[in-house]
Amino acid sequence: MDIGIISMRYAKALMEYARSTGTEELFYDEMGRLAQAFRVCPDLRTALDNPIVTQCEKVQLICVAAVGNGSPRRELMQFVTLLLHNRREGFLQYIALAFLDLYRKDRHIGVGRLTTAVPVTPEVSERIRQSAAALLHARMELQTEVNPAIGGGFVFDINDFRLDASIATQLKHVKQQFIEKNRRIV
Protein backbone atom coordinates (compact mmCIF):
# COMPACT_ATOMS: atom_id res chain seq x y z
CA MET A 1 0.00 0.00 0.00
CA ASP A 2 0.98 3.60 -0.50
CA ILE A 3 2.48 5.49 2.46
CA GLY A 4 0.09 8.39 1.90
CA ILE A 5 -3.00 6.20 1.97
CA ILE A 6 -2.01 4.42 5.17
CA SER A 7 -0.97 7.57 6.99
CA MET A 8 -4.10 9.45 5.91
CA ARG A 9 -6.37 6.62 7.08
CA TYR A 10 -4.76 6.56 10.49
CA ALA A 11 -4.75 10.36 10.70
CA LYS A 12 -8.46 10.53 9.84
CA ALA A 13 -9.26 7.83 12.37
CA LEU A 14 -7.23 9.67 15.00
CA MET A 15 -9.03 12.92 14.15
CA GLU A 16 -12.44 11.26 14.55
CA TYR A 17 -11.36 9.68 17.81
CA ALA A 18 -10.04 13.02 19.07
CA ARG A 19 -13.34 14.71 18.13
CA SER A 20 -15.36 12.07 19.94
CA THR A 21 -13.27 12.42 23.11
CA GLY A 22 -12.88 16.21 22.86
CA THR A 23 -9.07 16.02 22.85
CA GLU A 24 -8.34 17.49 19.40
CA GLU A 25 -6.16 20.31 20.72
CA LEU A 26 -4.16 17.97 22.95
CA PHE A 27 -3.53 15.59 20.06
CA TYR A 28 -2.61 18.56 17.86
CA ASP A 29 0.03 19.65 20.36
CA GLU A 30 1.37 16.11 20.77
CA MET A 31 1.48 15.40 17.04
CA GLY A 32 3.21 18.74 16.50
CA ARG A 33 5.89 17.83 19.05
CA LEU A 34 6.19 14.38 17.52
CA ALA A 35 6.65 15.79 14.00
CA GLN A 36 9.25 18.21 15.38
CA ALA A 37 11.05 15.31 17.10
CA PHE A 38 11.23 13.41 13.80
CA ARG A 39 12.56 16.53 12.08
CA VAL A 40 15.21 17.25 14.71
CA CYS A 41 16.26 13.67 15.44
CA PRO A 42 16.21 11.37 12.39
CA ASP A 43 17.53 8.55 14.58
CA LEU A 44 14.05 8.29 16.11
CA ARG A 45 12.72 6.87 12.86
CA THR A 46 15.64 4.43 12.69
CA ALA A 47 14.95 3.28 16.25
CA LEU A 48 11.26 2.71 15.51
CA ASP A 49 12.09 0.68 12.40
CA ASN A 50 14.61 -1.45 14.32
CA PRO A 51 13.19 -4.93 15.05
CA ILE A 52 15.53 -5.40 18.02
CA VAL A 53 13.89 -2.55 19.96
CA THR A 54 11.01 -3.98 21.99
CA GLN A 55 7.46 -2.66 21.76
CA CYS A 56 7.67 -1.34 25.31
CA GLU A 57 10.78 0.67 24.43
CA LYS A 58 9.11 1.96 21.26
CA VAL A 59 6.10 3.12 23.28
CA GLN A 60 8.43 4.95 25.66
CA LEU A 61 10.33 6.57 22.76
CA ILE A 62 7.13 7.77 21.09
CA CYS A 63 5.64 9.07 24.34
CA VAL A 64 8.79 10.97 25.27
CA ALA A 65 8.92 12.47 21.76
CA ALA A 66 5.24 13.50 21.91
CA VAL A 67 4.89 14.56 25.55
CA GLY A 68 8.38 15.20 26.83
CA ASN A 69 9.07 14.44 30.46
CA GLY A 70 5.39 14.52 31.45
CA SER A 71 3.20 11.46 31.72
CA PRO A 72 1.40 10.48 28.51
CA ARG A 73 -2.38 10.57 28.30
CA ARG A 74 -4.43 7.39 28.07
CA GLU A 75 -5.71 8.30 24.58
CA LEU A 76 -2.19 8.73 23.24
CA MET A 77 -1.11 5.43 24.76
CA GLN A 78 -4.06 3.68 23.09
CA PHE A 79 -3.19 5.16 19.73
CA VAL A 80 0.50 4.22 20.02
CA THR A 81 -0.43 0.71 21.14
CA LEU A 82 -2.73 0.33 18.12
CA LEU A 83 0.04 1.46 15.77
CA LEU A 84 2.54 -0.94 17.26
CA HIS A 85 0.03 -3.81 17.28
CA ASN A 86 -0.59 -3.28 13.54
CA ARG A 87 3.15 -2.79 12.89
CA ARG A 88 2.64 0.71 11.51
CA GLU A 89 5.27 2.50 13.61
CA GLY A 90 7.25 3.22 10.43
CA PHE A 91 4.39 5.44 9.27
CA LEU A 92 4.14 7.45 12.48
CA GLN A 93 5.95 10.51 11.11
CA TYR A 94 3.61 10.68 8.12
CA ILE A 95 0.58 10.06 10.32
CA ALA A 96 1.57 12.96 12.57
CA LEU A 97 2.05 15.28 9.58
CA ALA A 98 -1.26 14.20 8.02
CA PHE A 99 -3.04 14.78 11.34
CA LEU A 100 -1.57 18.27 11.58
CA ASP A 101 -2.78 19.04 8.05
CA LEU A 102 -6.28 17.73 8.78
CA TYR A 103 -6.52 19.71 12.00
CA ARG A 104 -5.34 22.91 10.30
CA LYS A 105 -7.83 22.51 7.46
CA ASP A 106 -10.63 21.79 9.91
CA ARG A 107 -9.81 24.81 12.08
CA HIS A 108 -8.83 27.16 9.20
CA ILE A 109 -5.26 27.62 10.38
CA GLY A 110 -2.60 28.87 7.99
CA VAL A 111 1.07 28.10 8.46
CA GLY A 112 3.79 30.59 7.66
CA ARG A 113 7.56 30.46 7.94
CA LEU A 114 9.65 33.61 7.98
CA THR A 115 13.35 33.15 7.28
CA THR A 116 15.63 36.12 7.88
CA ALA A 117 19.37 36.72 8.08
CA VAL A 118 19.11 38.26 11.56
CA PRO A 119 16.66 37.56 14.40
CA VAL A 120 13.29 39.31 14.18
CA THR A 121 11.77 41.04 17.18
CA PRO A 122 8.56 39.54 18.61
CA GLU A 123 6.65 42.73 17.72
CA VAL A 124 7.57 42.45 14.04
CA SER A 125 6.80 38.74 14.04
CA GLU A 126 3.38 39.36 15.59
CA ARG A 127 2.63 42.13 13.09
CA ILE A 128 3.49 39.85 10.17
CA ARG A 129 1.35 37.07 11.64
CA GLN A 130 -1.63 39.40 12.06
CA SER A 131 -1.26 40.80 8.52
CA ALA A 132 -1.12 37.31 7.02
CA ALA A 133 -4.12 36.24 9.10
CA ALA A 134 -6.11 39.20 7.82
CA LEU A 135 -5.20 38.41 4.20
CA LEU A 136 -6.06 34.71 4.50
CA HIS A 137 -9.09 35.21 6.73
CA ALA A 138 -7.73 32.45 8.93
CA ARG A 139 -5.76 31.99 12.10
CA MET A 140 -2.02 31.95 11.48
CA GLU A 141 0.87 30.05 12.97
CA LEU A 142 4.16 31.78 12.20
CA GLN A 143 7.51 30.10 12.62
CA THR A 144 10.62 32.26 12.46
CA GLU A 145 13.99 30.98 11.40
CA VAL A 146 17.40 32.65 11.19
CA ASN A 147 19.57 31.69 8.21
CA PRO A 148 22.59 33.94 7.61
CA ALA A 149 23.14 32.29 4.21
CA ILE A 150 20.38 34.43 2.64
CA GLY A 151 22.58 37.48 3.17
CA GLY A 152 19.76 39.87 3.99
CA GLY A 153 16.11 40.45 3.30
CA PHE A 154 13.65 37.65 4.00
CA VAL A 155 11.95 34.56 2.65
CA PHE A 156 8.28 34.20 3.60
CA ASP A 157 6.54 30.88 2.99
CA ILE A 158 2.81 30.78 3.58
CA ASN A 159 0.85 27.60 2.89
CA ASP A 160 2.03 26.80 -0.68
CA PHE A 161 3.31 30.25 -1.68
CA ARG A 162 6.78 31.77 -1.34
CA LEU A 163 7.85 35.39 -1.31
CA ASP A 164 11.62 35.44 -1.70
CA ALA A 165 13.11 38.90 -1.13
CA SER A 166 16.53 37.70 -0.03
CA ILE A 167 19.81 39.21 -1.15
CA ALA A 168 21.13 35.78 -2.13
CA THR A 169 18.26 35.23 -4.56
CA GLN A 170 18.59 38.71 -6.04
CA LEU A 171 22.32 38.16 -6.59
CA LYS A 172 21.55 34.83 -8.22
CA HIS A 173 19.12 36.55 -10.62
CA VAL A 174 21.71 39.20 -11.51
CA LYS A 175 24.28 36.47 -12.15
CA GLN A 176 21.83 34.66 -14.44
CA GLN A 177 21.21 37.90 -16.36
CA PHE A 178 24.95 38.37 -16.92
CA ILE A 179 25.33 34.78 -18.06
CA GLU A 180 22.46 35.16 -20.53
CA LYS A 181 23.85 38.46 -21.81
CA ASN A 182 27.30 36.90 -22.33
CA ARG A 183 25.80 33.97 -24.24
CA ARG A 184 24.17 36.39 -26.70
CA ILE A 185 27.47 38.19 -27.28
CA VAL A 186 29.45 35.05 -28.08
List the domain boundaries for the chain. Answer: 3-105, 109-185
Topology of domain 3-105, per CATH? Answer: Peroxidase; domain 1 (1.10.520)
Topology of domain 109-185, per CATH? Answer: Dihydrodipicolinate Reductase; domain 2 (3.30.360)
**Distance, CA of 52 to chain centre:** 29
pLDDT at 2 over 80: no
pLDDT in tens, 155-175: 998 877 888 888 888 888 898
Who contacts 89 (Cβ-Cβ below 8 Å, separation ≥6)? 48, 49, 58, 62, 83
pLDDT in tens, 25-77: 988 999 999 999 999 988 888 888 888 988 888 888 888 888 887 788 888 88
Residue type, 185: I
Q: What is the pTM of this model?
A: 0.78
Who contacts 76 (Cβ-Cβ below 8 Å, separation ≥6)? 27, 30, 63, 66, 67
Mean local confidence (pLDDT), 119-132: 89
